[in-house]
Amino acid sequence: MTLHGNLTWQEYNPEDIFEQTRRKNRIILMTFPECSEKLGLEPSILTVAPDGDNVEYSFKNRDFNDNDVNMYLCSVYISGMEEFEKWAMRHDQNKIVVGGYHPTTFPQEFTNLAWKIVQGPCDSLYKTLEQVGQIVPGIVTDKRIPRREIYDIYKNQQVIPDKRPEQTCVSINTSVGCSMKPPCDFCASPIMCSKVVSKPLELVEEELLNIRMYRPEFCFIRDENFFMQRDWERRLQMIGELLPTPKVKKPKLYLFASANTITEKKVQAMVEAGVYMVCLGLEDPTKDYQKNEKLTEACALLHEYGVFVYLSFIVNPLEIIGKEPATQFYAALNNRLKELRPEMICGNFLMPFPGTALWDKYYAYVDREDYKYYDSKTPFLVRNKKLQKKMSLFLIWHQWRYYTSRFYNRNVREFAVNDTLHNRFIELADQFKEGYETMWDVRT
């Protein structure tokens, strides 16, 4: 008697048959653009991954034999659209499921590239895919935690002050969405989820115990605005109590917040839980934002309790064309930085996201080929390539000047300590230095 083609009972190996079946039912997870070992965050698509040892995360967006794959789950960000499109055209589109920001806002761009297009947050794959139609809303059951075991968490090398390259950083979301009214005109978060939806405490506890196994020295709380949750204090307490290990008694936490939500009670609770840095949006230093009416007071309060301040800022390239506008903008920025004394800064060029208030104002400047430049470091709204390159340099250069300044090293912290922040800017210095020797005259 033969089994499975020409196999006899004597030749039959159950393990071989299982492996063949497993490979036929492979589910491949991918993120577009491709993950970076230097700057990558833990892929959010891990939340959608179903159970089973047939599920794999592909760190590289390579080609697969479609005959060996049952389904491709692809998370697509706007800057990865061109990369995804080229990849999808080489594969069986009836096996492709897409989700993420770009499929949520522009689902029509995927109708010829994927079997199912999932909009918004999702943690229940099969319930979502059972819905009728090609474009379906993601279903959230709040019963799943990300499958981190299929992803190499140790490649998650984030740029953080005082974090050494060999130290481990994990991340967690205890909520999704943002309820800021009106929403910030540049922010895409309300498009994915227009209100704050908190995960059940028991699910947060399960996830904390899961990431605790990695013995993290650092943890990024990725909630868009942690303090919008009514029970934020309990959640912060849970993180502070459940994340420590015998090896790391008090992991360093950092989180997003709005300056207007910062109070002394909250800062005290943060310090107790192990928060060492808070990310606040400085945004455009020449404009006033409702959420930043108390930014100066918030930064002073955080520093009073020894908490680092991380300020991100936005540069509108269309408003700094010419020497005088650029000089005025960066002078305002540098003055604000000296007032607020942030330990970390991050400059981003204005990116008008589809669905935001800015989109109607700037969509005429955006071509489809610009999608790949949605990396926050390319001023693609300016069409002149030479000017783009110069603006990109100045964005990095002014951050470099702040970090290497006597003011920063005497009044904020020492920069050259070989942490991931220092190492990243050394890489950027080397990247931009060629051709700009006279401008880049300091290297620490």
Quote the pLDDT of residue 42. Answer: 82
> 192 near 120, Cβ under 8 Å?
yes
Q: What is the pLDDT of residue 436?
A: 62
Contact partners, residue 163, CB within 8 Å, separation at least 6: 169, 217, 218, 252, 419, 420, 421
- Can you tell me whether residue 249 is helix, strand or coil? coil
Q: What is the pLDDT of residue 163?
A: 95
Spatial separation of the C-alpha atoms in residues 378 and 282, rounded to whole Å: 19
Report DSSP letters for 166-200, one per residue. TS-EEEE-SEE----SSPPTT--HHHH-SS-EEPP
Q: Rounded to an integer, what distance in angstroms lies between the CA atom of residue 411 and that of residue 293?
A: 24
- Return the pLDDT at 188: 67
Contact (CB, 8 A) for 164 and 419: yes
| Structural contact between residues 73 and 52, judged by C-beta atoms closer than 8 angstroms | no
pLDDT score of 183:
66
Structural domains for the chain: 2-137 (3.40.50), 158-433 (3.80.30.20)
pLDDT digits (tens, 9 = 90+) for 261-280: 899 999 999 999 999 999 99
Alpha-carbon span 408 to 430, nearest angstrom: 21
Give the pLDDT confidence score for residue 92 in this predicted structure: 97
- The first and second tokens of residue 192, run together, are 């994915």
Which residues of the chain carry a pLDDT beneath 70?
1-24, 38-40, 179-184, 187-194, 434-444
Residue 329: per-residue pLDDT: 95
pTM (two decimals) = 0.88
Distance CA 115, CA 263 (A): 48
Q: How far apart are CA 266 and CA 282, in angstroms?
A: 20
As a whole number of angstroms, the distance between CA 439 and CA 268 comes to 43
What one-character DSSP code corresponds to residue 22? H
